[in-house]
Amino acid sequence: MPTAPKVYYEAEEPALDFVPDALPEAEEGHPEYGEVFSQDEDTAPVVMVAAPAATFAYAVGHRVQPTPEAPARQVIWRGQLRERRPETGLIHRTNVYRLNDGFWDCYREDELQAA
């Protein structure tokens, strides 16, 4: 498989003599993130993103039931799954839990109930 040729750069001045330019004033930064935009750059578009789940409903060790008739099981792991919302097409994080039921299946928070 062919690869792109390697590019080598030559500096106009030695690295020891290089002094970076001063950062722009604070008002030139993005108000929410503090990012600095170049004078030549257009204003960045604003994209609305769904906020990630801030907290977990069940702690590790908590007993839950995946269905009302199922026996209560203990939460042995919890994490977040990235999935795309079909109505908006945006990616968001959903809390998921693994139970000590002998399987590697993870359950979403809305599939569980406290035992």
Number of domains in the chain: 1
State pLDDT tens for residues 16-29.
655 666 655 555 55
pLDDT score, position 75: 94
- In terms of pTM, does the model score above 0.85? no
DSSP string across 33-85: T--B--TTSPPPPP---PPPP-S-SS-TT-EEESSTTSPPEEEEEEEEEEEE-
- Within a domain: 69: yes
Residue 6 domain-assigned (yes or no): no
Residue 20: which domain range? Answer: 15-114
pLDDT, mean of residues 39-66: 72
In angstroms, the CA 75 to CA 113 distance is: 12
Domain-embedded: residue 1:
no
**pLDDT of 93:** 87
- Tokens representing 49? 């993103």
